[in-house]
Each structure stands twice: as C-alpha cells, then as structure tokens.
Chains A and B, each alone.
Chain A
Amino acid sequence: EVQLVESGGGLVQPGGSLRLSCAASGFTFSSSAMNWVRQAPGKGLEWVSTISDSGGRAYYADSVRGRFTISRDNPKNTLYLQMNSLRAEDTAVYYCAKDYRYYSVWGQGTLVTVSS
C-alpha cells in the first residue's frame, strides 16, 4: 500500500523553527518528486514546495522562500521541510504529497501552530 505519514508538527512561537518529516512507503521513493502543501484553518490549499526525485532541484512559493527548506533522504524514504522564522500566518495543516504535475497520494497532514 502506498503511504505517506507526516510528523513533527506542534506549537511554536513566532520566529521559531520546526522540522517536518514525511515517511514514505509502498513505492519507489527515489523515483518520485515530492511536495509540501499547506492548508490554514478554514482556508484553501496552498502549494508550498517541490523537490525533484534526486533532490537536485527545489522550488518554493514566494510566501516561504528564504525561510523554508525542502530536502529528502532517499535511502531513508523520508521527505523533510525545515521551517525557520515562523510567522502566525504559517499556521496550517501541512501535507506531503507524491508526484510532479498532480498529486496522486497525500499524507494525513500534521498541524503547525505558530503562536505566543
């Protein structure tokens, strides 16, 4: 069964940092582009970042560029999102998702709350 499981969310103060993880199973992780998508409470989906299968290319939304870093460890089948300089507006459920031009598999999401 193809599965993505996020972890690492929680409550963090403004200006703080957090690292999210996404454990993949059931498919060839090293052959798949991976992504992070977030959803603020009561709001729509927002694409955050994409990383190529090898990890050699990464793309970011304007809203997070320079603060967030996407990375992957292919031998460990794990995707990461390092989030620095967090703001209240980064509060959201963060989903990892598989593939490039459309997202065929999604994790269950992990909630990040930025508040003092």
Chain B
Amino acid sequence: QSALTQPASVSGSPGQSITISCTGTSSDVGGNNYVSWYQQHPGKAPKLMVYDVSNRPSGVSNRFSGSKSGNTASLTMSGLQAEDEADYYCSSYTKSNTLVFGGGTKLTVL
C-alpha cells in the first residue's frame, strides 16, 4: 500500500495553466481507470474534483481536467484563479479492493 507519487508543490500565475502528476504502478493507476482527484483548502474536508480519470462531478468547473497515460495520471487546471490555491490529492482504486492516495501537492497561485 505505497502512496502514489505527486510533486510536493507547484505554482502558477493567475490565468496560467498548470499540471499535477500522479505516478503509481500497474497495481493501481496503470491497472484501471479509477483515478480521482481531490481539492482541500486549509481546515476543510477534501472535495472531489475528478473521478474515473477524466470525469467531473456536477458543479466542478471545466477548468479542471484529468488524464492518464500508463502508470501516471495528471490533473490540469487552466485559467488559474486565486481560489484554486489549495492542496490537491490523487487517488486510485487498487487490485486489492483498497484505495491509495498520493502524498499531496500544494498549489500556490502567485
């Protein structure tokens, strides 16, 4: 049950696009299409932003998009806004019927 690998931090200016990567193995990210992404503001509960690699829940801005290639998934945010500043976590369903999270990425909007 090793955590998925994410960069510790990323940054971008308002209006720019950024991408956060999430690397796993063939037992999780590479073995299914059940990757999801969560946004967490300080002191708040996580919020689902993308599920099943590239689907957005109702109410989530289309500035957020997900993709996957092999054992690496990605979350792309376009048109960065100040309110996007938060921690982002990827997760993947695994062959053991468990869920594994990434270590988290802190997004700073400059």
Residues on A with beta carbons closer than 8 Å to the beta carbon of B46? 37, 45, 95, 103, 106
- Summed over the interface, the residue pairs from A and B with CB atoms below 8 Å come to a total of 64
Q: Select from chain A the residue with minimum beta-carbon distance to B48.
A: A104
B44 to nearest A CB, angstroms?
8
Q: Is B52 close to A, CB under 8 A?
A: yes
Residues on B with beta carbons closer than 8 Å to the beta carbon of A44? 3, 87, 89, 101-104
**Candidate in A59, A103, A107 with the most chain B CB atoms within 10 angstroms:** A103
- Residues on B facing A (Cβ under 8 Å): 1, 3, 34, 36, 38, 40, 45-48, 51-52, 57, 87, 89, 91, 93, 96-104
Give me 24 A-to-B residue pairs in the complex whose CB atoms sit less than 8 angstroms apart, sorted by A's number: A37-B46, A37-B101, A44-B103, A45-B46, A45-B89, A47-B91, A50-B99, A59-B96, A59-B98, A61-B1, A62-B1, A95-B46, A101-B34, A101-B36, A101-B93, A102-B34, A102-B91, A102-B93, A104-B51, A104-B57, A106-B45, A106-B46, A106-B47, A107-B45
